[in-house]
Amino acid sequence: MRRRSRRTGRAGVPAPAQSIQGACRTFVRSLDLPCVHGVRELTDYIERLIGEPIIISPSLSADGRTPCGLLVKIDGVNHIGYDPSTSSSHQDDIIAHEFGHLLKGHAGGQVTPASAAGIILGDIDPDLIQMVLCRARYDDKQELEAEIIGTYLQAHVRRSSGAPATQGPDGDRILQTLIRRKNNPQ
């Protein structure tokens, strides 16, 4: 039997993380998401919610130095890139995470033309890049928030597609691991 923490009221989840997790759960529920069979099917709906187009494409290589997911805004178009060499399940997790950034209106850092050329594959003029969000760190609030929202988007997909739930929302081991890492950096 797991004991509840006196500080948090829940097993192993610090109180500040509970508030972020609860706020994200409430936020996703407020979106009135349509029934879908995959997270990519939410693209049109999220485009309408944020009022901007989204393009999803495999565009990153897993060389150990680049993030496995990326959100870049170029001329008012949000480009979500993911590592094409990872599993389709992991790709969907990456896309859901980036949807979390878009839905919350997270602002990324500006990139210099030199660094932009190394991040984006293809022939995009680096001067057109307005914003970049890289999925590389989970120790800041925006990354944690996007990851939790992405987890709840994926849970919505499982529920609406009729897939059996593997865990309850509070039992998501990946989410709990991220929260622990945020609160206990090593």
Q: Which long-range contacts (CB under 8 A, 24 or more apart) does 83-91 make?
A: 83/58, 84/58, 84/59, 84/60, 85/61, 86/62, 91/58
Query: pTM for the full model?
Result: 0.69
Residue 75 DSSP one-character state: T
Listed by start position, the domains of the chain span 15-183
Of 66-70, 123-127, 160-164, least confident by mean pLDDT is 123-127
Separation between Cα atoms, residue 167 and residue 133, nearest integer Å: 29
pLDDT of residue 177: 57
Determine the average pLDDT of the residues in 80-105: 92
pLDDT for the residue 184: 60
Confidence band, pLDDT 50/70/90 cuts, at residue 13? low
pLDDT digits (tens, 9 = 90+) for 130-176: 445 444 444 578 888 999 999 999 999 999 877 655 544 444 555 55
